[in-house]
Chain A
Amino acid sequence: DTEVTQTPKHLVMGMTNKKSLKCEQHMGHRAMYWYKQKAKKPPELMFVYSYEKLSINESVPSRFSPECPNSSLLNLHLHALQPEDSALYLCASGRSGQFTDTQYFGPGTRLTVL
């Protein structure tokens, strides 16, 4: 099973709202990633968790707050977002966070910020 699940599929929020995106994998992977993808562009890396510790933050604004409660779950907490944050947010997982890993992607959450 190479499935990564993400909820919700769509999310519309106002600039003052607080919301969370959820990602789950049951492949026993120890690395999980958040990406942001704008229309007709490749995914851009935001965060990397390796063995439940935040290992990479690609200078993402603090209005995005990641959390990894356990090795199977990854959350992205959203607060005070801007309209330009509207995008497809993709979660991925990999075996160990090494460059040799294959990353498996979820279907994404389509976020619209009003």
Chain B
Amino acid sequence: AQSVTQLGSHVSVSEGALVLLRCNYSSSVPPYLFWYVQYPNQGLQLLLKYTTGATLVKGINGFEAEFKKSETSFHLTKPSAHMSDAAEYFCAVSGGLDDYKLSFGAGTTVTVRA
């Protein structure tokens, strides 16, 4: 079965500072990896996804993530935080052929200080 671990349930950054959210995955097959963002009282919005190919994936709103197979990681970064980045972020891995589920991490809450 596939699973993800998000390191740090809460991250606080200053406006303009680097945002780094950590995600490690466990998968018995080549993984499909996703980052979703959830703003307060809203649904989940896809930020970016990794399927195959280029390991550096660019997403919306200036976010990007790098797939590192050797480290089983898929960390999310943004060079300069904006107040509007305050939200809940979920890393997720999709199952293999015998596992239909999208398995989510526990989530990381990002707050941005002015």
Contact = CB atoms under 8 A, between A and B. Distances in A.
B25 interface: no
Contact of B43 (A101, A102, A105): A105
B94 A100 contact: yes
Interface residues of A, number: 24
Contacts of A108: 42-43
Interface residues of B, number: 26
B41 A110 contact: yes
A69 interface: no
Interface stretch (A11-19, A35-43, A75-83): A35-43
Interface of A: 4, 6, 40-43, 45, 48, 55-56, 90, 92, 97, 99-108, 110
Given A99-B96, A108-B42, 20 more contacts: A6-B43, A40-B109, A41-B107, A42-B105, A42-B106, A55-B100, A90-B44, A99-B94, A99-B97, A99-B99, A100-B32, A102-B34, A102-B49, A103-B102, A105-B44, A105-B45, A106-B43, A107-B42, A107-B43, A110-B41
